[in-house]
Amino acid sequence: MKRLITVITCCIVVGYIFLALYPFAPTYIKNSHVSGMTNKVKKILGLGALFDRPNTLIGKSATYRFYQNGKWQPKQQLLEPLFEDYKLSGNIAALKHCRLDGNLVWNIAYIANLDGVEKMRHSKEYAEFLDHLIYRHNHNIKPDSLEISYYTKNFETDSLDLSLTFKVKP
């Protein structure tokens, strides 16, 4: 029994050493099916590096507005009020909500930039985002129309660059 525990522990430690050295592995290993498996294991175990990809270092922002009762409502910031709530009162639920919204809007912006707005509108990510937006940000009332704008932040000029905007009937 003791030998079995030793063998299992030894295998796990060897696996860890492989994961640690993986960034320096030759390209042919990185291009093989080992890559997909390694990334999956790292993702499950939370072994990724923080802020190591250019994408994670881009500031993002989103606004929305609804057309209902015969007029366009004022534009609203999607993430700002939630993050402000966390900053001012330490509300962790608001921070988690901010992360959820950020993730949902990032997913649809990514698909729209890659495949176009029309394809994005038929994706499950868009359905997920829309369902959440209407439920949590419009008291579960389906608007006649809605507009989403997605921006990336330019740190040098402190300006917001419009990355995506669209109007749709939900």
Instruction: State the residues that interact with other proteins by CB under 8 A.
Output: 1-3, 5-10, 12-13, 16, 19-20, 23-24, 42, 44-52, 54, 57-61, 79, 83, 86-87, 91-100, 102-104, 127-128, 131-132, 135-136, 153, 155
Inter-residue contact 76 to 137 (CB < 8 Å): yes
Question: What is the SS3 assignment for 51?
Answer: coil
C-beta closer to other proteins: residue 92 or 162: 92
For 123, other C-beta atoms within 10 Å of its C-beta total 15
Taking the complex as a whole, how short is the minimal distance between the CB of residue 124 and other proteins, in angstroms?
Answer: 9
C-beta closer to other proteins: residue 16 or 116: 16
83, 89, 90, 94: CA torsion to nearest 10: -40
Q: Give the whole-angstrom CA distance, residue 125 versus residue 109.
A: 10
Taking the complex as a whole, how short is the minimal distance between the CB of residue 158 and other proteins, in angstroms?
Answer: 8
